[in-house]
Each structure stands twice: as C-alpha cells, then as structure tokens.
A and B are shown apart, each in its own frame.
Chain A
Amino acid sequence: MRWGLAVVLAVASIGPAMAQSITVRDAFDRSVTLPAPPQRIIPIFASNVEIVASLGLADRIVGIEAYTRYPREVLDRPLVGGRLGFSVDAVTALQPDLVVVTPSRQAANQLIDPMERIGVPIMVLLQRSVPEILDNIRLMGRVAGVSGRGEEVVARFQARLDAVKRKVEGQPAPSTIMITGRLGNGLMLVAREGTYTGDAIRLAGARFALPGTAMLAQVSPEAILNADPDVLLWAGSERDLKELLARPGWADMRAVKGKHAHAVSRVELLIPGPRTIDGIEHLAAIFHP
C-alpha cells in the first residue's frame, strides 16, 4: 500500500471530440500516460491477464507470455516471451497501446526501458498484499477507461472477503505452514508473511507457525517438523502431498495425524489475480470447517 494507488492527474480533456488522456502512477512510482483508453493490451504474466479479463476486456488482449493458462479465450494470442525472457521485437510487432508487467523473471528489466524509448505506455503492477491486488484491478479499470466496472468488480470481491472475515472473526487461529515448492537440495519453499499468499493465509483466519521467514523463503524440512503446525498446506497436487508426507518423520506431525494436511490450489494462491479471492475462501473452509 506504500505506493498505493496514487492516481494523480486524471482525465485532461483535450477537446470535445477527442478521446480523454489519462495519467496514473504505477507501482514503481512512474508516471504512465495514455492518450486514450487502450485497445491493444499486452498483459505479461497470468495475474495481469486475469485482471484485464476480470474487467471483461479479454478481447483487447493482443499478446501473452508462455506461462499464461487462463482464461481459455486468450490462449490463442501470440506469445511475446516465456521462461527465457521477453521479446521487445515481438511486443512491438503487435502494436500495443499498453503493456502491463510485474517485476518477475526479467519482464520489468527487459521491457520497461525499450517501451519507454519507443513511446509505448508500460505500467508496472506489484502484488505484495491482497488489498494491493484489488487496487490493481481498480487501477486497470481506470487506465482502460472502465473505472465503473473496476469499482464494481472490486466491491464484489470485497464483499466476499468481508464474508470470510465475519466467518473467521473471534475463532482461534490455527498455526499453519504452506509449502509452495521443494528445492533440489532438500530445502522447502514456504509462503511468507508480507506477501499476498501470506496475506491470504492471514485473512482466511490462520497464523504462521514459522514466523520471521522474511529474509529467506527456503527452510529446512526439520524446521517444518519442529514447528509442528496445526494445519499443513501443500500448494500442488494430492499425489505430491502424499509423497511429501511419506518422508521419514512427517507422519508423526500433529497436522498429519489429525488429518489436517491439505493440498491447495496453486493457481488460486500463487497467481496474484482475482482467483486469489477463491483461494482465500477455500483456505478459510480448511482453517475453520
């Protein structure tokens, strides 16, 4: 929320018949000016695609990156990048009037500078908390010239979050650890406080069994055994969860013995888009059945 949603100078009408230009500040505190509502948008990463689509603007998306899997209707769009990076050439060839990026992989690094130089508006979104995701939807709505729709969508999500809050309020918060990945060296990646995933866990009414993992997201399996959380979450498939729990010692964990080890959806909790709200509802159902 630090950068927040400082939509500063909005709407300077140039003339009665002309389109309205809009200037906003993005998550890098850059000023982004669009001469008119964008019609050819390239949202880089699944989260930004989903945000554009949640506003009913999927038909304005002209390009995506290789790891975008949802929604189905945009999957036939040309690819502008993938695991190895993002192509300035491919982006430019699509003649976009707005590029939306998140500083993950090399997207911000590879695209901001060239787009600024050739004069294509490029907006950076960060998603460090659930409110920031909602802010992004609102900002996207304003930029795309559909602020009303943006506010509507956000209000709907907010109502669902409020419902979850009412449900979990006053109930004892179980301690939890969400494992999001396993590294080759045996260490495990866990969801941390201060991220949108951590935020989702908190909003769903749980507390962190491993506090203070702010610096390194990777912890040893021993630390997880030692913390012995009330609820153990694995972001992935049931099969991989079974394999994880088959490790020596894990069956003795409180969460496993009490049948509180669950596989949860990666797309809901590891893509900072509208589906995170679904994820929070599902988590709340796990924490407070």
Chain B
Amino acid sequence: MKVWLGLGAMLLLAMIVAACAGHEWASPADLLRAIEGDQALRSRLLFDWRLPRVIAAAFVGALLGLGGTIYQGVFRNPLAEPYLLGSAGGAALGATVALLVPLALPQSWLLPLLAFAGAWGATMLVIGISRVAGAVDAAGLLLAGVAVAAILGALRSFLMLALSDETVSLQVVLSWVLGGVQTPTWAGIAVLVLITLACVALSLALARKLDVLGLGETMAVAFGLDVHRFVMLAVLAGSVIVAAAVAFGGLVAFVGLASPHVARWLVGPLHRPLLPASALVGAIVVVLADAIARAALPPAEIPLGLVTAVAGGPFFVLLLARRLRT
C-alpha cells in the first residue's frame, strides 16, 4: 500500500511541477487562478495549453508502461520494448503521411488516427509475415519486426524527400518522429482517459496468464495455457496499447523499456501489481521528461524522445551489463 501511495503522490507532484515548468515558469497560485477561470492571456495559456499537455503526457507514459510490461512478459525478455514489432516504423510512416500529404481531414484528427493505424497495421503485418513464414514464435516475430521496420523506414524517408518543400518542412516530421506529446483539447483528454482505462482493463485481463507464461513455455502448457494463441492475443493487445500511446505522444524512446524494470523493483514480478505500477512509473517519467523538454532550452523545445533517450540510454546499458554478468 505504501508503494502505491508513494507512486500516486510522486505522480501528482510531478504533474504540478510540470504544469509550472515552461519557458515562463508559473507558480501553483498561477495554476489555481487559471483553473478558476481567470481570463488573462497567461491564465488561458496555462489552462488551455499547458495543463492538457501535462495530463496527456501522464497518459502517454502510462500506456507506454503498460505496453512495455506486456511485451516483456510475452517475449520473456527484459530488453523487449514496445516498438519492437514495427509499431514505431508504422506510426512514423502514418504520421509522415498525415503531416506531408494534404488530405481532407484536419491534421489534429489525421495525425493521431494515421499514427495509430500505422503502428497497429505494422504490427499486424509483422504477425502476418511470421505466420506465413511459419515462425510464429518470439524469434520469428522479432525477425519479421526488424524486416518490416527497415521497409517502413525507407518508405518514410522517401516520402520525406519527395513531399517536403518550402511550405512543408521536414523539421515538422522529424520532431514528431523524435517524440513529442500532442496537446489535446479537453474533449481529447476525455477520449484519452477512456482509451487508457480500457487499456488498463485489457492488460489486467492478461495478467494471470502472463505470470503463467513467465514460468516457461513447458510449464505454461502444463498449466493448460494455449501458448501460441495467448502470445498472439497478448501481442495484439500490446500493439493496440502502444499504438494509442504513439498516436498521442509520438515516439518516446526507452520509457516502455525502463518503466517495467523500475516497477519490478518496487512491486515484484507478478503482473497484477506490476502492470499498474509500471503505468504509474511511465506516467511519472514522461511527465517529468516532457517538463524538461518544454523548459530546458528557451525559446526552443527539445523533442521529448531525445530527453528520454538521453536519460534512458545509460539505463539500458546498465540493464544489459547486469544481464550479461549473470
């Protein structure tokens, strides 16, 4: 219980600090005034722009934490991360199309929709390929993921070269690919809350079987688990969750990889507590990283993915070193 209260308090604190952080720092009193409906330009900025972004960052982090935990559970590999099965490449391709090709829908809709479709579609493609190749196991999926990622990356690069000109800047695409939380409207936040809650429910439904799978494939079969079916199901669920995170947050490196590990230190390896704990850790990390991205280098904004990568890279190396030593 203490862990949960601690995580909850940390998230709240992180969100308050993040809401104050910016090129122009606000005080908690400023925030309160903005929430009470003050009409000064600065208050409107805090309420209609900064707060939604902080909240969105928390949900994106939570989704990445969930997705990462599911992938690590399915592949029984602590270095598995949510972008493993082509979702990053697919999302980036979808976002590139949304940003560069003039289509009928407004971009604020198109960008999350196409990013989601790309992320999910790419994972489906990976699963499809590994099925056709008759290699529906972890290794087959991973290899298919590498191939699909390479193809999608090349397609995206070509689109970027061919479609950018004086009015459509490559920087826009690049900064999306490097990660950055979109700022939804309050209605968008409501949608995001619903999506996240659904994802939490979905992943908790997988929790017990993930534990069983963690015992090893033979043990899992002995426990009566249809391993192939379950792996497929869990990957599908994981890919939807990651696609949702990507749709709202772009590509945010390392959070999906690191959050489950931190959460495991806190609550142990069982998935029922691990999933929500990992979601909370992910939320805290992304909220803080987003605050750094917004505040550190005025008047510019650092792409969020760079902040998490700079912090997460050494973490990854640490994990790798530990694993190699054992």
Contacts and interface: CB of A to CB of B under 8 A. Distances in A.
Q: Do A and B bind each other?
A: yes
A217 B165 CA distance: 8
Interface string A58-89: 00000000100000000000011111111111
A118 B49 contact: yes
Which of A102, A103, A126 counts the most B-chain CB atoms under 10 A from its CB?
A103
Contacts of A106: 169, 171-172, 175
Nearest to B25: A89
Interface in A32-69: 66
B30 interface: no
Nearest to A110: B301
Contact of A86 (B48, B183, B299): B299
B235 to A, nearest CB: 33
Contacts of B272: none
Nearest to B22: A89
Interface residues of B, number: 30
A83 B300 contact: yes
Interface string B92-105: 00000001000000
A246 interface: no
B41 interface: yes
B299 A79 contact: yes
A98 B173 CA distance: 27
A87 B172 contact: no
B49 A103 contact: no
A13 interface: no
A132 to B, nearest CB: 11
Contacts of A155: none
20 contacts: A81-B299, A84-B297, A85-B171, A85-B299, A85-B300, A87-B23, A87-B298, A87-B299, A88-B45, A89-B299, A90-B23, A90-B299, A95-B41, A104-B167, A106-B169, A106-B171, A113-B183, A114-B183, A119-B44, A216-B161
Main SS of the interface on chain A? loop
Contacts of B44: 117-119
Interface in B298-326: 298-302
A82 B299 contact: yes
A88 B298 contact: no
Contacts of B299: 66, 79-82, 85-87, 89-90
A179 B297 CA distance: 34
A80 B22 CA distance: 13
B300 A87 contact: yes
B301 A87 contact: yes
Interface residues of A, number: 35
A80 B298 CA distance: 8
Which of B175, B185, B300 counts the most A-chain CB atoms under 10 A from its CB?
B300
A215 interface: yes
B302 A118 contact: no
A86 B300 CA distance: 6
Nearest to B295: A89
B165 A84 contact: no
Contact of A89 (B23, B99, B161): B23
A117 B45 CA distance: 8
B162 interface: yes
B175 A85 contact: yes
A109 interface: yes
Nearest to B185: A117
Interface in B48-87: 48-49
Contact of A118 (B22, B45, B162, B168): B45
B108 interface: yes
Contact of B169 (A66, A103, A195): A103
Nearest to A114: B49
Which of A83, A87, A104, A105 counts the most B-chain CB atoms under 10 A from its CB?
A87
Given A103-B169, A117-B48, A118-B41, A85 B24 contact: no
B172 A93 contact: no
Given A117-B48, A215-B162, A93 B42 contact: yes
B166 interface: yes
> Which 10 A-B residue pairings sit nearest by Cβ, starting from the closest?
A84-B300, A87-B299, A89-B23, A118-B44, A90-B299, A89-B24, A117-B48, A89-B22, A92-B45, A114-B49
Nearest to A80: B299
Nearest to A214: B165
B289 to A, nearest CB: 16
Contacts of B302: 84
A81 B301 CA distance: 9
Given A106-B169, A118-B48, 5 more contacts: A84-B301, A93-B42, A109-B99, A117-B44, A117-B48
Interface string B199-236: 00000000000000000000000000000000000000
Contacts of B297: 84
A79 B300 CA distance: 10
A124 B301 CA distance: 21
Contacts of B23: 87, 89-90, 93
A279 B41 CA distance: 41
Contacts of A114: 45, 48-49, 183
A93 B185 CA distance: 21
B302 to A, nearest CB: 7
B169 A92 contact: no
Nearest to B165: A217
A82 B48 contact: no
B179 to A, nearest CB: 13
